[in-house]
Amino acid sequence: MNVWFYEDQTPDLRIGLRVGRVVHHERSPYQEILVADTDQWGRMLALDNVIQTNETTEFVYHEMMAHVALFAHPNPERVLVVGGGDGGVIREVVKHPTVRQAVLAEIDEKVIEAARRWLPSISSGLDDPRTRIDVGDGIDHVARSPDTYDVIIVDSTDPVGPAVGLFSEEFYRSAFRALRDGGLFVAQTESPFYNADLIRRVQQALRNVFPWSGMYWGVVPEYPGGFWAMSIGSRGGDPRRVPAGRYAERRFETFATRYYAPDVHAAAFVLPPFVLELLPDGAPQRREAYVERFLPGAGEEAGEEAGGSGEGEDSGGPGGPAR
Ligand code: SAM
């Protein structure tokens, strides 16, 4: 069959996938939901004609959205995923034996239903006994959950429609309040190639709210540009550093990850100059890259500021300092 699905990744850039069978198509109150079989990536989910996930390459995004913050946190027990109705991030979250409750706050129950029925390898974590699903606006959920979560992960659609507020400083302040001491916040924040202004704004907003904020990345073939930014804020220590021993304690050997690994954790925080430029001047990663390296002497001051207060800061474990 020669039927093609096209996504306009920018107004001037389009990608196409050959589609075999359309297995599900509906219009929910929030968006157009399409599940289709493709030759390249197997089954895929698109919302409003934007590819969200697929069976073949989904592991990169879902692993990197979940494990960086969960391994950076000393004891993540309560985790919130905002959006994420396909269940892929929750599937990774519940791999951590410390997790007692994983809450999914997804606005569109039709996405959850479609993923459960048509994408079982991605949605499997939704049936874990520790998972609780709250259908509704994640912004409201976060606002009514003060001092509740150890990790909050925003797995949202692009900043249009109901997802717009998930990219605002007001929401980050609310998320800060919803975190317990030492908590971590992660959000998918689009492409450094095509969404530089958005990333700049998000990074500045996180910097205004969290004592430590920064960015890491992963290679996500299904998203525009392939090089995907994840923004992170910490109420505790520097998330680049994972103490030696934590991977063994959590039995990392049972996780069966295909992208995330202790050294990938550290490497993901190393940013090329064109991406570092998107971070505000005072952000630790940017200061270290430019100040410590090229202005010897000023480095001590930059290092102190980047250190944070968490237990991981002087451990130098497998995920040791990024640079
Ligand atoms: N990984 C995908 C990506 O980056 O393109 C996102 C996957 S997930 C399916 C995104 C979900 O966010 C959608 O199902 C959408 O309904 C949900 N969503 C958007 N805005 C939301 C909000 N304000 N509260 C809760 N869920 C929201």
Helical H runs in the chain?
A: 58-72, 88-93, 109-118, 120-123, 138-143, 169-178, 196-209, 246-249, 262-268, 273-276, 284-287, 293-294, 299-307
Which residues are known catalytic residues?
A: 155
48 lies in which domain range?
A: 3-54
What ranges make up the beta strands (E) of 131-259?
Answer: 131-135, 149-155, 179-188, 212-219, 227-234
Q: Quick: pLDDT tens for 261-305.
A: 999 999 999 999 999 999 998 899 988 887 666 776 654 544 433
Q: Quick: pLDDT tens for 107-165.
A: 999 999 999 999 999 999 999 999 999 999 999 999 999 999 999 999 999 999 999 99
Domain CATH for 160: 3.40.50.150
Q: Quick: pLDDT tens for 40-88.
A: 999 999 999 999 999 999 999 999 999 999 999 999 999 999 999 999 9
Question: 162 and 201: one domain?
Answer: yes
* Contact in structure between 218 and 259 (CB atoms under 8 Å): yes
Residue nearest to atom 20 of ligand 1 (CA): 163
Residue nearest to atom 18 of ligand 1 (CA): 83
pTM of the model: 0.92
Question: 37 and 83: one domain?
Answer: no
The DSSP output letter for 288 is: I
- What values do phi and psi take at 133, rounded to 5? -110, 125
| Pairwise CA distance, residues 230 & 199, whole Å | 9
Residue 188 CA: nearest ligand 1 atom is: 4
Cα of 105 from ligand 1 centre, angstroms: 9
Question: 45 and 160: one domain?
Answer: no
SS3 30: coil
Protein residues with CB under 6 Å of any ligand 1 atom = 30, 47, 52-53, 61, 82-86, 105-108, 111, 137-139, 155-157, 162-163, 166, 188
Q: Which residue has the tokens 């050294």?
A: 263
Q: Considering its fold, how many domains does the chain have in total?
A: 2
Question: 16 and 151: one domain?
Answer: no
